[in-house]
Amino acid sequence: MNHLQKRPHLKFILLLLTLIIAYVIFWGRNFLPFHNLLLSLSYLGTFLAGFFYAYGFTAAPATAILLSIAKDQNLIVASLVGGFGALISDIIIFMLIKSTFSYEVKAISKTKLIKFIGKEEKLLFGSFKKYILATFAGFIIASPFPSELGISLMASLKEISFKRFLIIAYILHTFGIFIILNIGNLV
């Protein structure tokens, strides 16, 4: 058992810390030296913000950076660059989920409880299950919510090839970052 499992409150404290960091970053956009540092990174900073946008604990600070630099970059180019950074993170997450957790997912799917839930799911959602699941996963991936959950849901869909996943994830992240940059441009 690692330290985070022994002390579950540490995860909450880490999450709270990232939210405080995000607030400081967003507030720091009015602090000229910090703002100039972000701007000096140019699109490399946007790429890095996009990269960290996809991870649960770094999504808030990455969003704050995107909001802070929005007025000083071309929104379309920044969205494309940030979306590519997020895509790199998604590839890492996707590969870890597919390679590391495939045995666990198969084992869990064979349990009686999961089989029962699967039958009830068919009654509730019918043939629309995969579309509902994909839509929900897409919303999570596009938003600043932790992409790990959305990617896990996408990886569980047998119909989605890796190439299709890459295209969908890039479009969703680029769209989500574009929305954030537009909000940052207005504030």
Instruction: Please calculate the CA angle 83-67-165 and round it to the nearest 5 degrees.
Output: 20
CA-CA distance, 18 to 15, in Å (whole number)? 5
CA-CA distance, 155 to 52, in Å (whole number)? 20
CA-CA distance, 28 to 38, in Å (whole number)? 10
Ramachandran region, residue 177 (left: φ > 0; alpha: ψ -120 to 50; beta: rest): alpha
Structure-model confidence comparison of residues 161 and 120, the more confident one? 161
CA-CA distance, 106 to 124, in Å (whole number)? 23
Structure-model confidence comparison of residues 100 and 176, the more confident one? 176
pLDDT tens, 75-90?
Answer: 999 999 999 999 998 8
Nearest to 155 by CA among 165, 163, 146: 165
pLDDT above 60 (res 95) = yes
pLDDT tens, 103-126?
Answer: 665 666 666 655 665 666 666 666
| Contacts of 29-34 spanning 24+ positions with Cβ under 8 A | 29/67, 29/68
